[in-house]
Amino acid sequence: MTEFIWIVIALPLLGAVVLHFLGSRLGEPRAGLVGFGMVGAAFVIAAIAAVPFFQGESHGEQVFLFDWIEGLGAAASLLWDPLSAVMTLVITGIGALIHLYSIGYMHGDPGFSRFFTYLNLFIASMLILVLGDNFGLLFVGWELVGLCSYLLISFWNEKPSAAAAGKKAFIVNRIGDVGFLIALMLIFTTFGTLAFDVVLSHEAWDVNGIELGVGLVTAITLLLLVGGTGKSAQLPLYMWLPDAMEGPTPVSALIHAATMVTAGVYMIARTAVLFELAPVSSAIVASVGAVTALFAASIALKQRDIKRVLAYSTISQLGYMFLAVGVGAYVAGIFHLFTHAFFKALLFLGSGAVIHAMADEQDIGRMGGLRKAMPVTHMTQVVGWLAIIGIFPFAGFWSKDEILAVTFGKGGGYYVLWAIGLLTALLTAVYMTRWIALTFWGEKRYADDLHPHEAPGTMVLPLIVLAGFSVGVGFWNTPFLPSMEHFLEPAFEGVEQAHLPEGLVPWVLAAVSVGVAVVGAFYAYRRYRGAGAVELAPIGKGSWSLVEEAYRVDDLAGRFIVSPGRAVSNFMAFVVDRDVIDGAVNGLATAVRTAGERLRPLQSGFVRQYGLGLVAGTVGLLVWFASRGLG
């Protein structure tokens, strides 16, 4: 079975080709069904191929297809091991559900078949990324998913903001890619190949007599981290992700929550062997993750766009994953990636259903009370909400608390990171509760001529399935039964991993973080349950007077945490984010263009001027050669 694993990639690729050429002839909904069928079939094949891992019979193997670039170690060769299996199952599984959902969501869109073409292409690219057994193929997938992301963000290209967002995502990612590319060059010059089995194996280093200095490994891993921060939207390269919400909501769910943005986490987990040798890099990864988590969560507190809240939340959750892989808890990182993929896809698809029902309204200030109009969607979103804020026994509880506990267990400076993580958990509870409260609870704040309705079956079904998973998948890796840890063991062979602290500590920590989540949720519930349209308009202004005297705790929290937080998030959102970072990115593009404009007058069209250029070049070369000859 394993040797046919390439079919998993080939199916969505075939789908993309078929849809590109025949898509418009197939029409709606057949084009969508083709896309869904391809990804679904890929999922089934991947699931069957993954059975030996579950049975503990296989530790993974390479599947060689053909030589691509000789001498670079970049063959078209796949690696089917537990880590890539987990990623493949997430990509194809959630991908299939999102394809199904999109059939309903994209109903009536003139670009219906084009959408599924891109989506299938994306799935194929993402599979190349996670299945490649060398950095060459990883990079191919890396670039291809970037391209698909770009195409899908600006899918509704008639909106200038969508086109701009696509461009922004692309440019920011290029910055990360430069780091990644330099890392690949360093790897190649160090190891003489890009193949994982040589680069990522202590035995192979011994065989080939490769000596690794700490400085070199640190340089390589830091450059890899630069690539990872671009793709996974971490500080300082996070700012494309919120804008990426201009794309259709299924895209946000699939690419910008569940799969592509986790590529950085996957890449760091895959190169754990290298990061292990560079403690400084690992510490930086952890710090970047923790700071990003807090930073994004603080911004999320202030957003009014239903999808932007989730976008910042995604950045924040990706920060947790970085924190995990940074402290050496690779399994915990992948586990959180795994659970997050389900509940965040669920939340995005839910908000898509809401946007769909509200006739493209995205401002949560003008929603409210949708509980009654969309009962099923509401129920699934409650599950997603509980999962993301980490309430027992939902999926987010297990994965997030494992990360926090392991971080705590590392001691020393990691206490600070743990505290940041805990603070983030509090903020997460606040903003997610605000999100769900403003959207579904309280009184309706939308215009009377809107009649929100429950989404069609193809959209509701994925929501229900994902909600089920958002409860269930957490049990794959509990402290009582760490099945995922056993499952992933072969992939992290020879890597020393951080583990949960001994004794009662994890239980106390779990209780603390659940407690924090409950406090945050309760505060936000009180605060936003009855929010009316008028008081929401300028967020947070004067509304504090509503807080009753009996909740002085809330008031204190508001005064000492939320207010500074608000100031910081204001600063972050409006000064750092918009002016400094966006300005820098736009400036780079402008600089190149300006250079071009300045050089244009040289091309005047006059032959005499061209002749002069020719002469000048000739004289330049003559001077050089003459000086070489005479000197």
Partner 1 sequence: MTNALYIGIGPIIAVTLGVVVLLMVEVTLHPATRVWRLISFGSLISGFILAIVQWADAANNPQPIFSHMLMHDGFSAFGSIVLIIVAALGLLVAWPLVENDRARGAELVALVLLTTIGLMLLVSAANLMMVFLGLEVASISLYVIAGFIRKGARSNEAAVKYFLLGSFASAVFLYGVALVYAGTGTLEITAIAGPQFAGLTQTPVLLVGIGLIVVGLGFKVSAAPFHMWAPDVYQGSASGVTGFMNAGAKIAGFAALARILVVSFDAQRGDWGPALAVVAALSMVVGTVLAITQTDLKRMLAYSSVAHAGFIMTALVGGGAGIDALWFYVVTYAFQVVGAFGVVAAISGVASDESALKQYVGLGRRSPFLAGVLSLMMLAMAGIPLTAGFAGKFGVFRAALEAGYTWLVVLALVASAVGLYFYLRVIVRVYIDQETAEQPRVVITDGMRFALTTVAVLTVAFGVNPAPLLTVVSNALPF
Which spans of this chain sit near partner 1 (rule: CB under 8 A)? 20-21, 66-70, 72, 76, 114, 136, 139-140, 143-144, 147, 150-151, 154-155, 157-158, 163, 170, 174, 177-178, 181, 589, 592-593, 595-597, 599-600, 602-603, 605, 607, 609-611, 613-614, 616-618, 620-622, 624-626, 628-630
Compute the least distance from the CB of residue 126 to partner 1, in Å: 15
Nearer to partner 1, 1 or 591 (CB): 591
Strand partners, 363: 305
Nearer to partner 1, 183 or 455 (CB): 183
Nearer to partner 1, 178 or 518 (CB): 178
SS3 state at 74: strand
Nearer to partner 1, 59 or 159 (CB): 159
Q: With b meaning 16 or more CB within 10 Å and e meaning fewer, what string describes 104-118?
A: bbbeeeebbbbbbbb
The sign of the torsion formed by the CA atoms of 214, 220, 199, 235 equals positive
Compute the least distance from the CB of residue 27 to partner 1, in Å: 15
Compute the least distance from the CB of residue 177 to partner 1, in Å: 8
Compute the least distance from the CB of residue 68 to partner 1, in Å: 7
Nearer to partner 1, 178 or 382 (CB): 178
Nearer to partner 1, 162 or 395 (CB): 162
The residue among 305, 444, 303 whose CA lies nearest residue 363 is 305
| C-beta separation of 324 from 418 below 8 A | no
Nearer to partner 1, 124 or 285 (CB): 124
The sign of the torsion formed by the CA atoms of 275, 58, 46, 13 equals positive
| C-beta separation of 306 from 435 below 8 A | yes
CA distances from 73 to 129, 186, 193, 197, 266 (A): 16, 14, 5, 10, 21
**Which structure tokens are listed for 317?**
């959750």
Nearer to partner 1, 21 or 560 (CB): 21
Compute the least distance from the CB of residue 324 to partner 1, in Å: 30
Nearer to partner 1, 154 or 252 (CB): 154
Radius of gyration of the chain (CA): 26
Query: To 5 degrees, how large is the angle CA 438–CA 444–CA 447?
Result: 120
- 106 Cβ contact partners less than 8 Å away, ≥ 6 residues apart: 32, 112, 115, 248, 250
Compute the least distance from the CB of residue 196 to partner 1, in Å: 17
Compute the least distance from the CB of residue 8 to partner 1, in Å: 17
Give the position of tokens 């992700």: 241
Compute the least distance from the CB of residue 246 to partner 1, in Å: 13
Compute the least distance from the CB of residue 152 to partner 1, in Å: 11
Segment holding 79, helix H or strand E: strand 74-80
The residue among 137, 310, 343 whose CA lies nearest residue 233 is 310
Compute the least distance from the CB of residue 403 to partner 1, in Å: 34
| C-beta separation of 376 from 463 below 8 A | yes
The residue among 358, 323, 384 whose CA lies nearest residue 454 is 358
Nearer to partner 1, 177 or 401 (CB): 177
